[in-house]
Structure 1
Amino acid sequence: MNIRNVSIASLLAFTTLSGLPLVAEEKADVPAYEYGMPLDIARVIRIEEPKSRVCEVVRAKMTYVNSQGVTERVSFLKQSEVCVLQ
């Protein structure tokens, strides 16, 4: 086997393996709220948002229980907690 075949095989293996985490991240991603989207929220469990040192818009993730008792998640845009403290 020559160096060209080894290089091509290595490149294909690297490309295949490097794409796997991206596919896993996409499937685990939380759906984004869109204006007018119906939400059935009976109880909010938690709201997570990235830490920020400046007042800015961040993407938060809300975990909630709907009226049927099913736990769901949705992401939405909001002002960071720093904005409230100012």
Structure 2
Amino acid sequence: MNLKNIAAACLITALGAGALPAMAQAEAASETYAYGTHLDIKQVISLTEDSGQNCGLVNAQLTYLDSMGEQRALTYLKHAADCNNQGG
């Protein structure tokens, strides 16, 4: 193995190890919405909700990027998507 391959392997390992704290930080940035919560949403990444109920309130999660480019998650209560499809 030559020096270039060793250097490339070290670089890939260092970059991979640097991603772990960033992933942990993204998990730690999750918060629960309350009335008056300041929302700094630049781009929505995903919207999900708990399944299993036909109609009623469910937990939902909004994953987004803020104005600084950091990934954040916000949990909140909402009416289930199935509620919107009934009675129509």
Aligned length: 60
Gaps of 5+ in 2: 1-26
Residues 55 and 83, structure 1, Cα contact 8 Å, conserved in 2 = yes
TM-score under structure 2 length normalisation: 0.61
Q: Which amino acid aligns with 2:43?
A: R
Equivalent runs, 1:13-52 vs 2, <5 Å: 30-52=30-52
**Shift in alpha-carbon separation, 1:65–1:29, aligned structure 2, 3 A:** closer
Q: What is the distance in 2 between the residues matched to 1:28 and 1:39?
A: 16
Shift of 1:52: 3.1
Q: Which has the larger radius of gyration?
A: 1
The 3-state SS of whatever aligns with 1:83 is helix
Equivalent runs, 1:41-80 vs 2, <5 Å: 41-80=41-80
